[in-house]
Amino acid sequence: SDERKVSRWAHASRTAEVRTRPRGSARAIARLRFFTEDGVSEKYLVLRRHLDSKGRKWVRIRLPMRPNGTTGWVRREALGDYRIVRTHLRVNRRTLRATLYKKGRKIFSTRIGVGARSTPTPAGRFYIRERLRNLGGGEIYGPWAFGTSAYSVLSDWPGGGVIGIHGTNQPELIPGRPSHGCIRMRNRDISRLVKLMPIGTPVQIL
């Protein structure tokens, strides 16, 4: 994956250990899991491949865990078939704008709300793990919500500190910094984004 024009993701095919380096003796830092905190099938963004001295295939993946930005290596057979996405989302916390690109071309842009200075939206490279409709009844989070691989100290998200991208029942606070880390959009904008941004899309937060 280049995390811009062409990226690949996959489900876990088994609960394999994720290691710091592409070899079986390397330290394990996590285990693959089948489900997110919200009970949706977990996804892993594939970054690169490696063939070890014994001819075994390894892949480096982004991990949805703390600390943010963690990556690790798993054997190729621990993941299912690759899915390809050609989009990436850029979130700019300074200008309070989110922009979606497809094959390098801008296809969507809107003003957003981000985390307050005391509970900031984290910077880094992440990806979209899940899409949920009417989360929590649809009032606070609007009609749609995306779960990312980023985590916050605090979060508006009910699933244990996951940084979400979702709608709002307080559109007057956008643009601004009203959240505990999540990225808020007006409901009409998140409803447009749902039609354009597939699962597995890389997310860069600046």
Minimum mean pLDDT range among 27-41, 42-56, 132-146: 132-146
Is the overall model pTM greater than 0.75, yes or no? yes
- The domain made up of 86-205 has a fold known as L,D-transpeptidase catalytic domain-like (2.40.440)
Report, in this order, helix, strand and coil percent for the chain, each rounded to 5.
10, 45, 45
Distance of CA 64 to the CA centre of its chain: 8
The residues that are catalytic are 166, 182
pLDDT (tens digit per residue) in 62-112: 999 999 999 999 999 999 999 999 999 999 999 999 999 999 999 999 999
Pairing assessment for the beta strands 83-85 and 87-92 based on DSSP bridges: unpaired
Name the architecture of domain 7-84: Roll (2.30)
CA dist list (Å): 192 to 62, 107, 203: 27, 11, 17
Q: For residues 113 and 204, what is the distance between their CA atoms, to the nearest angstrom?
A: 16
Minimum mean pLDDT range among 33-42, 76-85, 109-118, 156-165: 156-165
Q: In what order do the strands lie in the sheet with 44-51?
A: 28-31, 17-19, 71-75, 57-62, 44-51, 7-10, 83-85
**Average pLDDT estimate for 156-162:** 67
Q: For residues 112 and 49, what is the distance between their CA atoms, to the nearest angstrom?
A: 35
Q: At residue 120, what are phi and psi to the nearest 5 degrees?
A: -70, 155
3-state secondary structure of 23: coil
**Domain edges within the chain:** 7-84, 86-205
Q: At residue 116, what are phi and psi to the nearest 5 degrees?
A: -65, 165
| CA-atom Rg of the chain in angstroms | 17
3-state secondary structure of 99: strand
pLDDT (tens digit per residue) in 160-187: 689 999 999 999 999 999 998 999 999 9
Peptide bond into 175 cis (omega under 30): yes
pLDDT band for position 150 (50/70/90)?
very high
